[in-house]
Amino acid sequence: MIDLGTIQAYIPAGTGAACRQLGLWLAATPIKWAYGPLSAYDIVGTRNRIIRYFLSHDVPLGKEYLLMIDANAVPIIQTNEIISTEGDLLYCGMAGREGRGIHTGDEDFGVKCFRASASVLQRMKDPWFIAPPESSEAARPCECESFRLRAYALGFEASMAGIVGHLQECVVFPSVDSQFGWKIAWPSDLPYERIQNG
Ligand SMILES: [Zn+2]
């Protein structure tokens, strides 16, 4: 069993204030946590700054594990595995924006909620995260892969420890076609047409 006093959690502030469900989980979980540096438009840089601060400030004070949780992560019962499981590199299985970009299983890695030991982070080179190239695709690739590859090159593989939800906006409509009487759509999938006059 991990000594929970050795875990320091950070929420990258670039993803906004902790959602209500994450706030409830943090209140019920005996680990120290704080917001990372404020950077509304550079989530990848914010992740790197949090790791730098953790290594230079928290590790000398006795912390051994960094737990990074995005503000829009929704913990459920299985998410508790991320604090109770032993290991140097753990992450919660997750789904990316609008359900795209799934990270699951022991050979993958996802950033939504992960825990890394100080020794793994010290051996990996700064920057830990690299922004993926801009793409014209709607589902932009994420920064998880850069971290996974750097860790893997040093012989560290992430293990999946539970799963975490990802708070997303969706839209419900009444629907006579559905047996439930309603249906759901992602906002980005809704079609729009210009209305002509006359
Ligand atoms: Zn990802």
**pLDDT band (50, 70, 90) for residue 161:** very high
Region 9-21: mean pLDDT is: 86
CA–centroid distance, residue 196 to ligand 1 (Å): 41
Check residue 138 and give its pLDDT.
42
Ligand 1 centroid to 64 CA: how many Å? 24
Quote the ligand 1 centre to 147 CA distance (angstroms): 10
Going by the DSSP 8-state scheme, the letter that residue 103 receives in this structure is: B
Q: pLDDT at residue 5 above 80? A: yes
Q: How confident is the model at residue 37 (pLDDT cuts 50, 70, 90)?
A: confident
What would the pLDDT profile of 41-77 be if each residue is shown by its tens digit? 788 999 999 999 999 999 999 999 999 999 999 999 9
How many A from CA of 24 to the centre of ligand 1? 25
Q: Where are the domains of the chain?
A: 4-168
Query: Could you name the CATH architecture of 4-168?
Result: Alpha-Beta Complex (3.90)
Please give the share of the chain, as a percent, with pLDDT higher than 70.
94
- Could you give the count of Cα atoms lying within 13 Å of 96 in the half-sphere of its Cβ? 15
> At residue 40, does pLDDT exceed 80?
no
User: For position 50, what pLDDT does the model report?
Assistant: 96
How close is the Cα of 189 to the center of ligand 1, in Å?
21
CA nearest neighbour of 5 among 74, 67, 68, 51:
67
Q: Quote the Cα angle for 135-153-15, to 5°.
A: 45
Interval 110-155: pLDDT, tens: 999 999 999 999 999 899 999 887 765 544 578 999 999 999 999 9
Q: What is the mean pLDDT of residues 75-88?
A: 97
pLDDT at 63: 98
Helix H or strand E encompassing 165: strand 165-166
CA-closest candidate to residue 138, choices 70, 73, 95, 189: 189
Q: What is the pLDDT of residue 1?
A: 79
- Mean pLDDT to the nearest integer, 166-187: 94
CA 146–ligand 1 middle distance (angstroms): 9
Mark the residues whose beta carbon lies below 5 A from ion ligand 1. 101, 142, 144
